[in-house]
Amino acid sequence: MLGASNSLYLGDMLFYAIVFIILMWVIKIVAWGPVTKMMQERADRISNDIDSAEKSRQDAEQLAKKREEALKSSHAEATTIVADARDNGKKQREQIVTNAQQEAQTLKQNAQKDIEQERKDALKGAQNDVASLSIEIASKIIQKELNAQDQKQLIDSYIEGLGKQNESR
């Protein structure tokens, strides 16, 4: 019986080996191909991700350099703008002060001219008033009508003499 169990054992082994080989062949067809394909796709994706990450890192470095250069450039430009604005402000201030001084001088001269004209007008008005008053007073004193033109000329010459005396003081 030992012989029968050995042959049974050998037959079982042969059966298991054949089933194992068939099973391995089925696994190779059904599972191994897709698993290998999936593993290859994953390896390719990881490789692409690594390449993409390296490219992104290089791009980030370049962008950082560009931003740093732009920052330096904008700082220099800002300094220039501030200096120009300061210079323009000085020039405008000086121009405003000069214009104000000129305008003040002009106003002063105009005011002096206006004062002189008003003084002359007032003196002329006073001469006319004094002349009229003198004629009226003289007429009442003498009780007769004087020649108004002669009397006015006499008074005007007297007032001009007074005006010249006031001016020389």
How do the pLDDT tens digits run along the chain, 169 residues long?
A: 455 566 778 888 899 999 999 998 888 888 777 788 888 999 999 999 999 999 999 999 999 999 999 988 888 898 999 999 899 989 999 999 999 899 989 999 998 998 988 888 888 887 777 777 677 666 656 644 556 776 777 777 777 776 666 666 5
CA dist 57 → 11, 52, 60, 65, 144 (Å):
64, 9, 5, 12, 123
Judge whether 127 and 159 are in contact, CB under 8 Å.
yes
Distance between CA 97 and CA 91 in Å, rounded? 10
SS3 145: coil
44: its two tokens: 């390719």
SS3 11: helix
